[in-house]
Structure 1
Amino acid sequence: MNTLLTSAAVLAEEVQMDRNLVTPGVLGFLMVFAVGVGLYFLMRNMTGKLRTLSADADEADGSGTPVAGASGEGAEAARD
């Protein structure tokens, strides 16, 4: 194992790379594109869930029943 690391270090010193020619390439583009597509679908799903949550809260407010998570004091103060 040590000889492999030593060989890699020696070879790395010998190889000179032009930093202007090294680019992420097609694989880098595809990875960024895949993350973007995944993010689009996650945001779309989250927006749908938030709309459902908002609609449920509006229904609860309109019917006179307290919203889930509201304390008893806050609900009584809102009714007075």
Structure 2
Amino acid sequence: MNTLPTSAVVLAGAVDLDTDTVTPGVLGFLAIFAVGLALYYLMRSMTGKLRALNVGADAEREGTGPAAASAEEESRS
């Protein structure tokens, strides 16, 4: 039905690669660099969001956060 896997196996057997000279090259370096760069910015974003969560939780414990203000308004009504 599909001859691509069969022809790939046949062609792969015909190619003789020297394991000492095969390297990832520039494309491999760029792929790893892009993954590292994306990871850096994702971690930086996550750290900022976690800090904002922590500040919000601290303010709520002290009674100065938005949840405390809305609860205070409801108790007045």
TM-score normalised according to structure 1 size: 0.66
Match of 1:43 in 2: 43
Q: 2 CA distance for matches of 1:52 and 1:32?
A: 30
* Alpha-carbon offset, residue 39 of structure 1: 0.5
Partner of 2:70: none
Please give the root-mean-square deviation of Cα atoms over the aligned residues, in Å: 2.4
How many equivalent residue pairs?
A: 65
More helix by share: 2
Give the partner amino acid of 2:55: A
Looking at structure 2, the residues matched to 41 and 64 of structure 1 have their Cα atoms a distance apart, in angstroms, of 31
Q: Could you list the per-position Cα deviations for residues 16-53 of structure 1 after superposition, in whole angstroms to 9, with x for gaps in the alignment?
A: 11011111000000000000110111001000000000
Taking only the aligned residue pairs, the percentage that are identical comes to 55
The TM-score normalised by the length of structure 2 is 0.69
Q: Secondary structure at the match of 1:18?
A: coil
Moved over 4 A (4+): 4-8
Q: Which runs of 5+ in 2 are unaligned?
A: 68-77
Q: What is residue 22 of structure 1 aligned with on the other side?
A: 22
Paired residue type of 1:46 = M
Q: 1:34 to 1:64 in 2, by over 3 A?
A: closer
